[in-house]
Structure 1
Amino acid sequence: MHKAPTMLRGAVLAALLMANIAQAAAQGGSGAVQAWLTTGDRSKLMARSPDLHFSRAKPADSVIDIDPATRFQEIQGFGASITDASAFLIQQRMNPAQRESLLRELFGRNPGLGMSFTRLTIGASDFSQSHYSFNDMPRGESDPALARFSIDPHRATVLPTIQRALAINPQLKVMASPWSAPGWMKSSDSLVKGALKPEAYDAFARYLGRYLSAMQSEGVPIFALTLQNEPHFEPDDYPGMRVDPASRAAFIGGHLGPLLAREHPGTTLFDWDHNWDEPDSPTTVLKDPVAARYVSGVAWHCYAGNVAVQAQVHAQFPGKDTWFTECSGGAWATDWAKNLMFFTRTLSIDTTRGWARGVLLWNLALDENSGPHLGGCKDCRGVVTIDSRTGEVTRNVEYYALAHTSRFVLPGARRIQSSEAAGELSNVAFRNPDGSLALVVANGAQAARTFSVRLKGQSFRYTLPGMSVATFAWDGKP
């Protein structure tokens, strides 16, 4: 079992990573292929390897053929959710210099990871220090006029965090999801458990519209909503709400969809926002002719089922986008190399080969006690860990898995054709708007694998250690 890197080691590694990235532009050179490596034994963490060059030498037995002319979905990017817990730690457990350094490292580019996709919670999740909505009322009372609506719970932590992230990276796209409607709109009259009452559909649609307006007024445009996080799950100890497919279709088609079209035409709607194991739920909504007009895509989580359903649903509804919007690592999975393989092979490679336009992990940051949280997951892990006593940052395996894509795949990139090599090699390739190419390759075998990457009759050869990941980036020319 590997021990987690110390905070000091993490800081040194991050400094080296930033220095390597800063060197890249100067050292790249026309025709050079940059190679960046993370190994399962952690001896290399986003380390710059010697540049490679295309040639007409005989390729290896395993070949990845790249065809930039065959293009698939447009990519928005990669990132993680700015939960209440993440924002609290960033704003109230880091000093100003630490805070600015981390936000630039995560959302900035050259140097930086360039995260360009994030998710906010509309009210509380389990990673909040209290259970709240933006329109709470005493039990037994209601507020259909939304006179008590306010986003004040986000002013101290979430708003300054997302505002600064947008200032650092104006290409950052923000989606948002509620974990529950206000309790008075639900069968339980509580944020915990219960279903959305049909007589509250209009009020809940206006509630979401008020949220969009309030965030826009704070300089935070929300490009996409889901109407409910994990609508088939009613947790016992934190906000949740059951909304079955027929209810979602009725709510979208009769209330939320028309409101968005009328008042917030810049915000789109994703259905589902739940696991791969129930594809019939989003397809039921997409088969509703009224609701389908307002749904632009399907959002997926990783906690049950198989990623292959993304492509299957896309084949049924090719006009609808695919997004991957949540997955968390945690103390239940202790093998660093296996985690690296899962987060890279399944979440970066398989989801985008399965038509995902964006990929989100769950908490951007948690503390040394997997929190703060109130109910829910007790052993989740953030992309980074922030020490609540010192503000020091530890970069977790999720950080490096994200870096292999977010650093090199720019907003507006298109996934392009890349053949799948034999054995345990997985890959995905992208063409950026400037014509540059990025290829991510993961070797899930224990032993090293040698392969060639071939483009227009020329190739370069590389040996990738076992349980390791490499990203190759070049100007697009062989």
Structure 2
Amino acid sequence: MKKFNPINYLLIISLIVNGCSVEQKLEVEVFETSADGNKMTPVTEFRVLQDIPVIKIMPENEYQVITGFGGSFTEASASLLNALGPENRRKVIEAYFGDDGAKYSLTRTHMNSCDFSLTNYSYAPVEGDSDLLYFSIEEDQDDIIPFIKEAMEASSEGFKIVASPWTAPPWMKDNKDWRGGKLLPEYRESWALFFSKYLEAYQAEGIDIWGFTVENEPLGNDYNWESMHFTPKEMTDFVTEYLGPRLEQDGHDVKILGYDQNREHLEEWVDEMFRDEAARKYFDGTAIHWYASTFEVFPDALQYAHNKAPEKYLIQTEACVDAEVPKWQDDKWYWSKRATDWGWDWAPEKDKHLHPKYAPVYRYARDIIGCLNNWVDGWIDWNMVLDKRGGPNWFKNWCVAPVIVDPEKDEVYFTPLYYTMKHFSRFIRPGAVRIGFENPDKTLQITAAKNPDGSIVVVAFNQDHKGKSFDLILGERSQKLSISPQAIQTIVIKHSTN
């Protein structure tokens, strides 16, 4: 009989324990963008503090299916790409749509001109042309269409396009102006036909339009640039009586999104849009913007919209740092609480509290996470490219884009906003399902989704000026992680099983 050897016994116990530890470890890839200089940087070493919070991922709790993330094809952006050299043009397009880039999957463009056009124009310029015999998208041939086509070539998985009109041609409106006014009743059929003609013209170019919004900002913009006004009832009547039947008659399979403005009025719009089965038949969802506040997501309004029509899309179709001139090659500004929006100067006194100064990166990260955690399934940024002045823009309504260019020097600046968008768009893919989580740290904002390939993605945002540690748990596995001060992280759990 062999003697008991305590050393062998301890070795066996050690192997068992260590083996269990290896099996219980959560294997992750971590990418970080931070105020101290990380730009989608892989992170492999973590500074773990004592008594850290536990963040539990719960894939069994499923919410909305993700439609996508992306930005907008505007004439302003397209004209700037035309002014760059071929190498930088390709660099920007690959950065947004290529396999090594942000892999944008949901985009938007404007029908007729908008404020980020070089001039006012319409595809139906001939007054009284009710049958739209002279309809033409020639205005887009030199800029927007080539931009979209090159993006299609760069994108291996493709992307959806939402098209939005800012206004009907002035001759169809009661004030005969590009700005403000309403569609005349006698031109409702012509305006519905306009959407159908647009689809066919773009299809002839090899470009499929996935969806429409009925009108960009139907509440107007104080007559500053292209707009056309609708009440909730007027838009719903137009869709149910004219636009929906016209597209159906012409055999077009395209989504119709209603509203398309700020979230604080969302409840009254969805009440009208989904008032009865006739309206629900034609409205595929609701479009929203973020300009009502620099920090407030309006979760109650988003929850209300979802509950009103849980089977419909809820898509953020426009957001940007507005009323600011871009800061060139100044990453720190984008992480600093210095930006102001339109409301800083112009909001009514009762709404001033909704428009404090903010850090642009914070606003993007907070809003995307807040939207995802309140049933929004798609999030679209505004211009993809602007110049150092924040244009071109015929109204001189300067704004900021994730990519800023200097066409005179053929230079490109990828701002921290580009990387902020990439943390979501590259890793949370169309068809992903947002999933549940438990997070006791109220200062660390997170969201989580499970991709069609089985991978789980967690995006975390730390806006504190000190680093944080946390224990990420999925099922029986865990991994202790840390995030830098003022940082966004994407944590990818490959082909995870719970």
Q: Normalising to structure 1: TM-score of the pair?
A: 0.87
What does 1:326-337 align with in structure 2 at a 5 Å threshold? 326-330=318-322, 331=324, 334-337=333-336
1:171 CA drift (Å): 2.1
Q: In structure 2, how many angstroms separate the alpha carbons of the residues matched to 1:81 and 1:117?
A: 9
Structure 1 residues 433-477: Cα deviation after superposition (integer angstroms, max 9, x where no partner): 110111000112232221111101221111222321111012143
Match of 1:204 among 181, 188, 191: 191
Structure 1 residues 83-118: Cα deviation after superposition (integer angstroms, max 9, x where no partner): 11001111x211222212221121011x11111111
Q: In structure 1, how many angstroms separate the alpha carbons of the residues matched to 2:320 and 2:491?
A: 26
Larger mean CA deviation between 331-340 and 179-188 belongs to: 331-340
SS in 2 for 1:438: strand
Q: How many residues are aligned here? A: 437
1:61 CA drift (Å): 3.7
Query: Is 1:304 aligned to residue 298 of structure 2?
Result: no
Structure 1 residues 215-248: Cα deviation after superposition (integer angstroms, max 9, x where no partner): 1111111111011000001443421110111110
Name structure 2 gaps, 5 residues minimum.
1-24, 327-332, 337-358
Q: Which residue of 2 aligns with 1:50?
A: 44
1:31 CA drift (Å): 6.3
Supply the AA of the counterpart residue of 1:404.
H
Q: Which residue of 2 aligns with 1:402?
A: 421
Q: Which residue of 2 aligns with 1:256?
A: 243
Name structure 1 gaps, 5 residues minimum.
1-29
Runs (4 or more) in structure 1 with deviation over 6 Å come to: none
Query: Percent identity at matched positions?
Result: 30
Q: In structure 1, how many angstroms separate the alpha carbons of the residues matched to 2:67 and 2:186?
A: 36
Q: In structure 2, how many angstroms separate the alpha carbons of the residues matched to 1:59 and 1:455?
A: 20
Query: Is 1:425 aligned to residue 444 of structure 2?
Result: yes
Structure 1 residues 12-67: Cα deviation after superposition (integer angstroms, max 9, x where no partner): xxxxxxxxxxxxxxxxxx9631111111x242121111178xxxx99954122112
Pair 1:31–1:265, CA change in 2 (3 A): farther
Equivalent residues of 1:171, 1:411 under 8 A apart: no
1:332 CA drift (Å): 7.2
Q: Which residue of 1 aligns with 2:94?
A: 104
Structure 1 residues 182-202: Cα deviation after superposition (integer angstroms, max 9, x where no partner): 111111112222111122111
What does 1:11-50 align with in structure 2 at a 5 Å threshold? 32-39=27-34, 41-50=35-44
Q: In structure 1, how many angstroms separate the alpha carbons of the residues matched to 2:230 and 2:282?
A: 17
Q: Which residue of 1 aligns with 2:270?
A: 282
SS in 1 for 2:435: strand
Pair 1:51–1:212, CA change in 2 (3 A): farther
Pair 1:471–1:180, CA change in 2 (3 A): same
1:291 CA drift (Å): 2.1
Q: In structure 2, how many angstroms separate the alpha carbons of the residues matched to 1:261 and 1:62?
A: 53
Answer with 1 or 2: which has the greater Rg. 2
Match of 2:433 among 409, 414, 420: 414
Match of 1:313 among 285, 294, 305: 305
Q: Normalising to structure 2: TM-score of the pair?
A: 0.84
What is the RMSD computed on CA atoms of the aligned residues? 2.1
Q: In structure 1, how many angstroms separate the alpha carbons of the residues matched to 2:441 and 2:251?
A: 48
Q: In structure 2, how many angstroms separate the alpha carbons of the residues matched to 1:153 and 1:255?
A: 26
Q: In structure 1, how many angstroms separate the alpha carbons of the residues matched to 2:243 and 2:439?
A: 42
Q: In structure 1, how many angstroms separate the alpha carbons of the residues matched to 2:314 and 2:425?
A: 18
Q: Which residue of 2 aligns with 1:79?
A: 70
Q: In structure 1, how many angstroms separate the alpha carbons of the residues matched to 2:410 and 2:316?
A: 30
Supply the AA of the counterpart residue of 1:294.
Y
Equivalent residues of 2:432, 2:449 under 8 A apart: yes
Q: In structure 2, how many angstroms separate the alpha carbons of the residues matched to 1:216 and 1:131?
A: 24
SS in 2 for 1:313: helix
Equivalent residues of 2:325, 2:388 under 8 A apart: no
Q: In structure 2, how many angstroms separate the alpha carbons of the residues matched to 1:336 and 1:426?
A: 16
Query: Is 1:64 aligned to residue 58 of structure 2?
Result: no
Structure 1 residues 121-159: Cα deviation after superposition (integer angstroms, max 9, x where no partner): 00111011101111123xxx4110112210000000000
Q: Which residue of 1 aligns with 2:152?
A: 166
1:292 CA drift (Å): 2.1
SS in 1 for 2:264: coil
Match of 1:130 among 99, 119, 134: 119
Q: In structure 1, how many angstroms separate the alpha carbons of the residues matched to 2:475 and 2:495?
A: 11
Equivalent residues of 2:334, 2:417 under 8 A apart: no
Q: In structure 2, how many angstroms separate the alpha carbons of the residues matched to 1:457 and 1:322?
A: 34
Equivalent residues of 1:185, 1:196 under 8 A apart: yes
Query: Is 1:444 aligned to residue 478 of structure 2?
Result: no
